[in-house]
């Protein structure tokens, strides 16, 4: 039975890997992963799509294994299958007939090998001799490689909020539905969880027994995001060439006070002759 359990566990993990990878790839294509990375880039919240995909993968694999477990008894021959199923369902009851059944099932199951309990269809694809186990392992490797390559190519891209418009609208609508009173700021400040109401509102801090008033201005803290604007017209306009006109200026000496003109004149003359 140990071999059978190991086989089941490995299949369960492979199935979980395949389902999780497929869900994560879908999230990548839909831009959900990029959306989380954009708004929560420095937070563990950015890993939400990956964690969600993994959880769904494990749940899906669990459902698959439950479904295939119900088929466990069908691998045995018809009479033993019915016997074993009945004995299993009535394992908590004790009677003369039940004891006889349990003994018989135990005796007959001891002759059944672990490999007989594994449905051949779960080893190979139909009549083709393609082993499912190896094929699933290959699929997991392939999908994970694809995820890695695709994520890497997306990481280098410049991300703008435009692709997430639908998601942002959805988020805004959700906020309205759940009664958030605050209106979302157009500059995207609310995306970081900051309300626009706090801007310009004085707060008080006490530093060495002195009350200090602190004022927070819009754009001065986290939550400042880029915003798409209309393109500006930056064309140069040519103008008519102007006519050059010489304008005579006043002499320096005339700008001096009359009583000091003589002394300043001598100063410069002496300076020129080197005293």
Binding site for other proteins (CB under 8 A): 79, 82-83, 85-90, 93, 95-98, 100-101, 104
In the complex, the smallest distance separating the C-beta of residue 95 from other proteins, rounded to whole angstroms, is 4
In the complex, the smallest distance separating the C-beta of residue 112 from other proteins, rounded to whole angstroms, is 17
Phi, psi of 207 (to 5 degrees): -125, 115
The smaller minimum CB distance to other proteins, of residues 88 and 267, is found at: 88
Question: Angle 96-109/78-89 helices, nearest 10 degrees?
Answer: 130
In the complex, the smallest distance separating the C-beta of residue 118 from other proteins, rounded to whole angstroms, is 21
In the complex, the smallest distance separating the C-beta of residue 120 from other proteins, rounded to whole angstroms, is 23
In the complex, the smallest distance separating the C-beta of residue 11 from other proteins, rounded to whole angstroms, is 24
The smaller minimum CB distance to other proteins, of residues 110 and 273, is found at: 110
In the complex, the smallest distance separating the C-beta of residue 149 from other proteins, rounded to whole angstroms, is 47
DSSP 72: G
Distances (CA, A) of 36 to 25, 155, 222, 231: 14, 12, 17, 28
Count the helices and strands in the chain (H runs, E runs): 9, 2
Please name every residue paired with 268 in a beta bridge, in sequence order, or none if there are none: none
Tokens of residue 187, six digits? 């500059």
The smaller minimum CB distance to other proteins, of residues 70 and 162, is found at: 70
Distances (CA, A) of 247 to 242, 244, 256: 15, 10, 21
The smaller minimum CB distance to other proteins, of residues 80 and 216, is found at: 80
Please name every residue paired with 124 in a beta bridge, in sequence order, or none if there are none: 131
Q: How far apart are CA 120 and CA 9, in angstroms?
A: 17
Pair 28, 151: CB distance under 8 Å: yes
The smaller minimum CB distance to other proteins, of residues 50 and 101, is found at: 101
The smaller minimum CB distance to other proteins, of residues 89 and 213, is found at: 89
Pair 87, 79: CB distance under 8 Å: no
């Amino acid at each position: 039975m140990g071999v059978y359990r190991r086989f089941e566990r490995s299949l369960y993990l492979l199935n979980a890997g395949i389902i999780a990878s497929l869900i994560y790839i879908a999230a990548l294509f839909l831009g959900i992963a990029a959306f989380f990375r954009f708004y929560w880039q420095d937070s563990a919240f950015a890993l939400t799509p990956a964690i969600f995909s993994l959880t769904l993968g494990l749940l899906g694999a669990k459902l698959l294994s439950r479904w295939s477990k119900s088929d466990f008894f069908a691998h045995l021959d018809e009479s033993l299958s019915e016997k074993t199923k009945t004995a299993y369902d009535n394992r908590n009851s004790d009677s003369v007939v039940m004891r006889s059944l349990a003994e018989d099932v135990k005796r007959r199951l001891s002759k059944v090998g672990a490999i007989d309990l594994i449905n051949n269809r779960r080893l190979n694809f139909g009549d083709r001799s393609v082993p499912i186990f190896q094929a699933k392992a290959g699929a997991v490797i392939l999908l994970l490689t694809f995820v890695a390559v695709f994520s890497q190519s997306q990481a280098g891209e410049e991300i703008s909020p435009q692709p997430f418009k639908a998601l942002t609208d959805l988020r805004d609508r959700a906020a309205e539905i759940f009664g958030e009173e605050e209106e979302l700021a157009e500059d995207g400040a609310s995306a970081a969880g900051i309300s626009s109401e706090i801007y310009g509102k004085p707060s008080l801090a006490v530093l060495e027994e002195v009350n200090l008033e602190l004022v927070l201005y819009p754009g001065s803290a986290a939550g400042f995001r880029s915003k798409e604007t209309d393109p500006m017209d930056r064309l140069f306009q040519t103008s008519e060439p102007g006519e050059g006109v010489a304008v005579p200026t006043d002499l320096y000496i005339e700008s001096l006070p009359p009583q000091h003109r003589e002394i300043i004149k001598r100063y410069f003359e002496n300076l020129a002759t080197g005293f």
